[in-house]
């Protein structure tokens, strides 16, 4: 495995990134939407293995108070290799200095993030554009 890391947006194949998110599986995210959200993120990383995009992640942050790690995805062929841990650790390091670093996990993956120092928040709340879907997938509960 020859991994190459970059934060640069130039040269990113947004269709390849969209396919990565579908395969991860983190849902269907259009190439145009991914280009917008990665462009608007303070920190980002893309990981290639011999030229093929195999991992990505980003951080929305204000530079002082809050950093939100989101959209961490690893191609299934590279899951279980430690790449996800490396991506999250890299994004946490970039976010150091913020008063809080937040993320929300795919249900069932909380243990992975706990090993990296994250703890469950008791006061986090969300409004999803598809509340029923978020409830069905376990991201929110009715209370």
pLDDT in tens, 37-79: 999 999 999 999 999 999 999 999 999 999 999 999 999 999 9
Distance in angstroms (rounded) separating the CA atoms of residues 104 and 124 = 9
Question: What percent of the chain is predicted at pLDDT more than 90?
Answer: 78
CB of 44 closer than 8 Å to CB of 59: yes
* All structural domains of the chain with their residue ranges: 3-103
Does residue 124 have a pLDDT over 90? no
Does residue 142 have a pLDDT over 80? yes
Contacts of 40 (CB under 8 A, 6+ apart): 60
The whole-model pTM stands at 0.90
Question: Peptide bond preceding 25: is omega within 30 degrees of 0, i.e. cis?
Answer: yes
**Could you name the CATH architecture of 3-103?**
3-Layer(aba) Sandwich (3.40)
Average pLDDT, the chain: 94
Does residue 36 have a pLDDT over 90? yes
């Amino acid at each position: 495995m020859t991994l190459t890391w970059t934060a640069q947006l130039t040269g990113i194949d947004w269709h390849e990134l969209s396919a990565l998110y579908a395969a991860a599986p983190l849902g269907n995210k259009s190439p145009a939407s991914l280009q917008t959200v990665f462009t608007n993120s303070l920190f980002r990383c893309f990981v290639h293995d011999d030229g093929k995009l195999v991992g990505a992640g980003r951080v929305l942050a204000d530079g002082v108070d809050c950093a939100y790690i989101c959209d961490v995805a690893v191609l299934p062929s590279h899951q279980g290799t430690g790449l996800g841990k490396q991506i999250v650790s890299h994004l946490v390091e970039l976010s150091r200095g913020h008063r809080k670093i937040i993320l929300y996990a795919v249900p069932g993956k909380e243990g992975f993030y706990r090993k990296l120092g994250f703890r469950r928040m008791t006061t986090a709340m969300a409004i999803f554009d598809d509340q029923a879907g978020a409830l069905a997938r376990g991201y929110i509960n009715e209370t």
